Chain A
Amino acid sequence: MKFILISLILAFAIAAPLIWTTDYWHHLMVLAAIYAIVALGLNFTLGLTGQLSLAQAAFWGIGAYTSALLTVRHELSFWIGLPAAAAVSALFGILLGFPSFKLSGHYLAMTTIGFGIIVRLVLQNETDLTGGADGIAGIPAPTLLGFDIDDNRKFYYFALGFLILLSIVALKIQHSRAGRAFQAIRENEMAASATGVNINRYKLIAFMFSALYAGIAGSLYAHSAGYISPDTFSFDQSVIFLVMLVLGGSGSVYGTLIGAILITFLPEWLRFLKSYYMAVYGAGVLLMMIFLPTGIWGLLEMIQERIIGRPGEVLPPLERPGEPRKAELSVGAKK
């Protein structure tokens, strides 16, 4: 059943550029794939480990700038720029992981917001290093086995390849020892620590993966757009990544993919709202938190549970990070 569903979705993803044939739609598909990779990264910190990070756009930007600077200024290949982007971004991720040892909830959120704002100020003001507000232009298209990936349709398949690979890796990690450690930290830090989970180490690993994914996506973005500027990597963009994750279903790879794709294409489907689109989008986020706090994937799993009577990979509710559930403390381990 699951196998058929996944094959169908894959077939659709591969056929999509042949159904919507304009360059503009191909461009959106590239964006959707890239956003999905960034959101998958955020799923490690927020979704699995329960650490509210609002710096995802900054990691994305660090990746994009690293790759762009190496290929434009030093004329290196994309295949050096991409791993370099992932590495530099992951390094910053580890750096931002350290405050999470002591801080949780709002404090950690504010630290990550501060980090994001400082990164953007550096991109904007260190003109010698980053090109300042003008950004960097003329970023070359990547080549793969001698083929130039120079239009949006080719780039879509290229990015889709990365997305599929990174989704599989994310699933593997989620169901590995590390993934269970992440979730243990989210559910109850104290209990996780008591059962021998090295909390600080796994928090750092979660932040590293989150930044690593964002860095890879940043490199892909830079080389598909050909031009980057600091404005793209703003706090508002971090919020959009957060909304993607929560709309789809925080904590689930499939949910994250759904969220990223929906949020990318929603403006197109809601064109008729014109200038009211963003207002409706805000209202939608608000209403969703009231009526659908576990996201679309959570809803689908609930329906599946009703029909089959067997619980699926039940989506855990979004809990206050770092704080044991009050109900469990008083009533025992009743869920």
Chain B
Amino acid sequence: MDFITFLQLVISGLAMGAIYALVALGFVLIYNAVGIVNFAQGEFIMIPAFFGITALVTWHLPVPIAYSLVLAAMAVFGLVFELIAYYPLRNRPFLPVVISTIGASILLKNLAQNIWGAIPLRFPGLFETGTLNLGGLRIGLQHLLILGVTVILLILQYLLFEKTLIGKKMQATAQDKQTARLMGIPTNKMIALTFIYSALLGGVAALLVAPILNVTKDMGGPIALKAFSSSIIGGFGSIPGAILGGLFVGVIEAIAGKYYSAYTDGVAFFVLIAVLLFRPQGIFGERIAEKA
């Protein structure tokens, strides 16, 4: 494989990896806040993708309005999801909550199929299939957009968590709910905000990735499972770990997919099992025993 091909694979891998990273962040933030893994995280991508199709294709709205509407709808969605699938079970152990999110996932997927139909839909992208040609190196414009937006979003998120009061309250809630409550932080509101933010991350990921995928009710599942693997590979519970793990899985998948295309969807799990067996704390993480 020549260097140009390699570079192209790395860039497209990084773009897909950025999507995994956004979804993995959504997982990790919810996990840190309430200690459960949300098995409906994939639906946090599938639902906004369908919302986008309704806004752009059915209603013919201009792109900025359509995108804003999708994100606003996702904020509401995140809140409703929290109220139905998590809040009533907030004092229960891990398994019932996991199963309730699985139930929510089945419900959402099949509602979506009833509303938007079973035929895969195409999401109109900003650039269609345009590419940028840099001396033989061809980069998809959508891939560049994904990378650019992800970087901006991560900077904004850093500012939100480190520089604003509300971000600090969210962090405090994630670190120690009881102490945070004693400090006068409305922890239930902060948890709801975390779900809303996680849904917004899914919304952004969907707007970025839907144009290069088919939009179906099952589109979210594989992305979410790979994102979940990425977050474990990076070190579960760690925000930099989720981002780096996502990018890592994206690149490995792109390169391995070149040689073993049939097993592309398995790459993330091969890496995951190898990492769990030899370095269970993940590449950047602390020891699992302390968090499991």
Binding site for B on A (CB under 8 A): 52, 99, 102-107, 109-111, 113-115, 117-118, 121, 124-125, 235, 239, 242-243, 246, 275-279, 281-290, 293, 317-323
Contact between B99 and A243, CB atoms less than 8 A apart: yes
A277 / chain B contacts, CB cutoff of 8 Å: 110
Task: Using A125-B263, A282-B104, A289-B99 as known contacts, list a sample of 10 further A-B pairs with CB atoms less than 8 Å apart, ordered by residue number in A.
Answer: A99-B277, A106-B236, A107-B276, A107-B288, A110-B232, A114-B269, A117-B265, A235-B225, A289-B96, A290-B100
**CB-nearest residue of chain B relative to A283?**
B107
B94 / chain A contacts, CB cutoff of 8 Å: 105-106, 320-321
Q: Which listed residue, A103, A243, A279, touches B288 by the CB 8 Å rule?
A: A103
B88 / chain A contacts, CB cutoff of 8 Å: 290
Binding site for A on B (CB under 8 A): 31, 37, 84-85, 88-89, 92-100, 102-111, 113-114, 221, 225, 228-229, 232, 236, 262-263, 265-266, 268-270, 272-273, 276-277, 280, 288, 292
In the bound complex, how far is the Cα of B100 from the Cα of A284, in angstroms? 9
Give chain B nearest CB distance to A288 CB in angstroms: 8
B99 / chain A contacts, CB cutoff of 8 Å: 242-243, 246, 285, 289
In the bound complex, how far is the Cα of B89 from the Cα of A55, in angstroms? 25
Contact between B276 and A111, CB atoms less than 8 A apart: yes
A113 / chain B contacts, CB cutoff of 8 Å: 225, 269
Question: What are the 10 tightest A-B residue pairs by CB atom distance, in nearest-first order?
Answer: A285-B103, A282-B106, A282-B107, A114-B269, A286-B103, A278-B110, A279-B110, A289-B100, A125-B262, A320-B94
Contact between A318 and B269, CB atoms less than 8 A apart: no
Contact between B114 and A285, CB atoms less than 8 A apart: no
**CB-nearest residue of chain A relative to B112?**
A279
B229 / chain A contacts, CB cutoff of 8 Å: 110, 114
Q: Which listed residue, A109, A118, A323, touches B266 by the CB 8 Å rule?
A: A118
Give chain B nearest CB distance to A97 CB in angstroms: 13
In the bound complex, how far is the Cα of B247 from the Cα of A23, in angstroms? 53
A317 / chain B contacts, CB cutoff of 8 Å: 93
Contact between A279 and B92, CB atoms less than 8 A apart: no
Most buried by B among A52, A110, A111: A110
Q: Which listed residue, B31, B266, B288, touches A117 by the CB 8 Å rule?
A: B266
Contact between A104 and B292, CB atoms less than 8 A apart: yes
Q: Which listed residue, B111, B225, B232, touches A279 by the CB 8 Å rule?
A: B111
A sample of 29 cross-chain residue pairs with beta-carbon separation below 8 angstroms, ordered by A number, consists of A52-B98, A99-B277, A106-B98, A106-B292, A107-B236, A111-B273, A111-B276, A114-B229, A114-B268, A114-B270, A117-B269, A124-B262, A125-B262, A246-B95, A246-B99, A278-B110, A279-B110, A281-B106, A282-B107, A282-B110, A283-B103, A283-B107, A284-B103, A285-B99, A285-B106, A286-B85, A288-B103, A290-B100, A321-B95
B111 / chain A contacts, CB cutoff of 8 Å: 279
**CB-nearest residue of chain A relative to B85?**
A286
Contact between A319 and B106, CB atoms less than 8 A apart: no
B225 / chain A contacts, CB cutoff of 8 Å: 110, 113, 117, 235
**CB-nearest residue of chain B relative to A240?**
B106
Contact between A323 and B292, CB atoms less than 8 A apart: yes
In the bound complex, how far is the Cα of B288 from the Cα of A114, in angstroms? 18
Contact between A106 and B37, CB atoms less than 8 A apart: yes
Contact between B273 and A114, CB atoms less than 8 A apart: yes
In the bound complex, how far is the Cα of B272 from the Cα of A313, in angstroms? 39
B221 / chain A contacts, CB cutoff of 8 Å: 235
Q: Which listed residue, B97, B110, B272, B277, touches A110 by the CB 8 Å rule?
A: B272
Given A103-B276, A318-B96, are A121 and B107 also a contact pair (CB < 8 Å)?
A: no
Given A110-B229, A320-B95, A323-B292, are A118 and B270 also a contact pair (CB < 8 Å)?
A: yes
**CB-nearest residue of chain B relative to A288?**
B103
Most buried by B among A124, A286, A320: A286
Given A281-B106, A283-B107, A289-B96, are A99 and B276 also a contact pair (CB < 8 Å)?
A: yes
A318 / chain B contacts, CB cutoff of 8 Å: 93, 95-96
Give chain A nearest CB distance to B236 CB in angstroms: 7
Most buried by A among B98, B99, B102, B225: B99
Contact between B273 and A99, CB atoms less than 8 A apart: yes
B273 / chain A contacts, CB cutoff of 8 Å: 99, 111, 114-115
Contact between B114 and A319, CB atoms less than 8 A apart: no
Contact between A107 and B232, CB atoms less than 8 A apart: yes
Contact between B98 and A109, CB atoms less than 8 A apart: yes
A105 / chain B contacts, CB cutoff of 8 Å: 94, 292
B269 / chain A contacts, CB cutoff of 8 Å: 113-115, 117-118
Give chain A nearest CB distance to B256 CB in angstroms: 13
In the bound complex, how far is the Cα of B108 from the Cα of A103, in angstroms? 30
Give chain A nearest CB distance to B288 CB in angstroms: 6
Given A114-B272, A121-B263, A246-B99, are A290 and B277 also a contact pair (CB < 8 Å)?
A: no
Give chain A nearest CB distance to B181 CB in angstroms: 17
In the bound complex, how far is the Cα of B111 from the Cα of A334, in angstroms? 44
B107 / chain A contacts, CB cutoff of 8 Å: 279, 282-283, 286
Give chain A nearest CB distance to B103 CB in angstroms: 3
